[in-house]
Amino acid sequence: MTQEAPSVFLRRAAVRFDGRPVFEGLDLDLPAGRWICLLGESGVGKSSLLRLIAGLCAPQEAQGTLSCSDGLPLAGRVAYMGQGDLLAPWATVLQNVLLGARLRGGRSAERAGQARAREVLARVGLAGREDALPAQLSGGMRQRVALARTLFEDRPVVLMDEPFSALDAVTRHRLQGLAVELLHGRTVLMVTHDPLEALRLADRIEVLAGSPPRLRPVMPPVGRAPRPLDDPALAKQVEALLSALGAPAAAA
């Protein structure tokens, strides 16, 4: 990583669509170099919160102040992974990794980044597949390309919106491990609806629940991520997390 990862502070965040508030008055801290999972039921506003931090909300929709521990603005220091792999189907694997370079600096920047793009592809285990088209790859491999693209962007802050939700269980498990390893040291905010995923990966868990939605920190899981799933402590925490999410343990 070329930049030290900062902490990110969000204060009095509010998002409204068509005048109807999704949430209001939320405060969220993302400690430097940590992996934070934002957990909540679907429709509670997790993705909106992530989009707010990513700067993707229209100004009339969103309010709140964003600041970083190093005093620099957050804009331009964020990498984003959306739901699904978001690969351009007409571009090769290599071109997809270089998408950011191309969009910002055109063909010359794309050429200049080639060597580093090949390097990050090798790190996600896709050396030799640079010229394949996304349609020729499996879902897991496509998600690896998306991860390589995120690494290529080399941003200190990474925002992820359920990036692995479309994958099968085995592939998801493998990619979670890879992501934790490769994104180590960056400030990561990952939105998920899967308590197990949060417990496996997070240094900190924030639960967004209730009406109106409020953020609640949940006790940090023990041990280093990625945690093994057969850890009995982890199973116990799933139960606690589910009740924090608003689902009574008995009914769930």
Where along the sequence are the contacts to another protein (CB under 8 A)? 51, 54-56, 76, 78-80, 82-84, 86, 88-91, 99-100, 102-104, 133, 135, 153, 159
CA-to-CA separations, 248 to 70, 86, 105, 243, in angstroms, rounded: 41, 36, 52, 5
**Residue 115 to residue 106: CA distance in whole angstroms:** 16
Fill in the amino acid letter for 116: R
For residue 173, the minimal CB distance to another protein (Å) is 23
User: 99 vs 215, which CB is nearer to another protein?
Assistant: 99
User: 160 vs 225, which CB is nearer to another protein?
Assistant: 160
For residue 195, the minimal CB distance to another protein (Å) is 24
For residue 24, the minimal CB distance to another protein (Å) is 23
For residue 79, the minimal CB distance to another protein (Å) is 7
User: 38 vs 159, which CB is nearer to another protein?
Assistant: 159
With 0-12 CB in 10 A as exposed, 13-18 as middle and 19+ as buried, what is 240?
middle
**Residue 17 to residue 100: CA distance in whole angstroms:** 29
For residue 247, the minimal CB distance to another protein (Å) is 28
User: 45 vs 221, which CB is nearer to another protein?
Assistant: 45
On whether the CB atoms of residues 220 and 50 are closer than 8 A, the answer is no
Radius of gyration of the chain (CA): 18
Place of tokens 């930049």: 3
On whether the CB atoms of residues 172 and 12 are closer than 8 A, the answer is no
User: 78 vs 121, which CB is nearer to another protein?
Assistant: 78
DSSP lists the bridge partners of residue 204 as 36
User: 50 vs 201, which CB is nearer to another protein?
Assistant: 50
For residue 10, the minimal CB distance to another protein (Å) is 16
